[in-house]
Amino acid sequence: MAGALPEAELYEIAESVGLVEGRILAYFDCFRGTSALDKLSKDLRPQGVNFSAIKRA
């Protein structure tokens, strides 16, 4: 779980803790059907991601 951050920063954080070959496997609309989406700025496009990376031994 991570907080709100730009996609590029997700890769940077993963690399900074020794993870490699990071990739986003899927995007999903985590706010669909909730009132939270109405409270956000219309220029934001919040979404959830499934992220995978490898920790080298």
One-letter amino acid at 33 equals G
Q: How confident is the model at residue 41 (pLDDT cuts 50, 70, 90)?
A: low
Q: How confident is the model at residue 46 (pLDDT cuts 50, 70, 90)?
A: confident
Q: Which long-range contacts (CB under 8 A, 24 or more apart) does 13-20 make?
A: 14/51, 14/53, 18/55, 18/56, 19/53, 19/54, 19/55, 20/53, 20/54, 20/55, 20/56
* Rounded mean pLDDT, 42-52: 82
